[in-house]
């Protein structure tokens, strides 16, 4: 915890104001970091949506292949089964990676939010302590 030099009527105002400005800067930085992480999470969800659309398109291609002749059906079915299996593996891998990444970012975001909350409580406590000192000074009878 930061210590301030005492002056005639309590703590040195310049030091306290400087500390408050530092705190404000840090809080704003944390907020920006949270916003960036939220944007990254949204971007990842959009990527997941794109892969789901691609999977849907592949399934439509399979349905169209079944309408062709028996010989083409057999060849297309064998080929499409391999493509779909590989596409599903890739899509599942990508989706899982994206979900894990989004989950990690959400955890980090929650940690940052919790840290901001703790920081606010500490700052509030410091400010309330300072206000109590000011109130005590007003009670002193000169």
Interval 10-62: pLDDT, tens: 777 788 889 899 999 999 999 999 999 999 999 999 999 999 999 899 878 76
Q: Is 69 inside a domain boundary?
A: yes
Q: How buried is 133 (Cβ within 10 angstroms: 0-12 exposed, 13-18 middle, 19+ buried)? A: middle
Residue 2 lies in a domain: no
Question: What sign has the CA pseudo-torsion 89, 90, 91, 95?
Answer: positive
Residue 134 belongs to a domain = no
- In the chain, DSSP assigns E strands to 6-7, 10-11
- Flag whether 136 is in a domain: no
Phi, psi of 125 (to 5 degrees): -60, -45
* Mean confidence (pLDDT) of the chain: 86
* Count of domains forming the chain: 1
Contact status, residue 130 vs residue 20, Cβ threshold 8 Å: no
Residue 68 covered by a domain: yes
- pLDDT of residue 136 exceeding 80: yes
In a domain, 34, yes or no: yes
Full residue range of the structural domain in which residue 54 is found: 12-118
Q: In angstroms, rounded to a whole number, what is the distance separating the alpha carbons of residues 27 and 118?
A: 11
Residue 9 has which token pair? 């009527």
- pTM for the full predicted model: 0.35
Q: Report if residue 25 sits inside a domain.
A: yes
71 domain-assigned: yes
């Amino acid at each position: 915890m930061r210590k301030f030099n005492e002056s005639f009527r309590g703590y040195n105002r310049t030091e306290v104001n400087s500390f408050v400005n530092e705190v404000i800067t840090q809080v704003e930085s944390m907020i920006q970091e949270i916003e960036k992480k939220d944007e990254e999470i949204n971007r990842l969800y959009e990527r997941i949506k794109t892969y789901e659309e691609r999977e849907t398109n592949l399934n439509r291609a399979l349905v169209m292949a079944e309408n062709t002749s028996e010989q083409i059906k057999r060849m297309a079915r064998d080929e499409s089964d391999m493509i779909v299996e590989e596409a599903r593996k890739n899509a599942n891998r990508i989706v899982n990676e994206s979900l894990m990444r989004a989950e990690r970012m959400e955890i980090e975001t929650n940690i940052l939010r919790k840290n901001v909350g703790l920081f606010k409580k500490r700052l509030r406590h410091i400010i309330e302590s300072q206000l109590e000192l000011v109130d005590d000074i007003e009670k002193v009878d000169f």
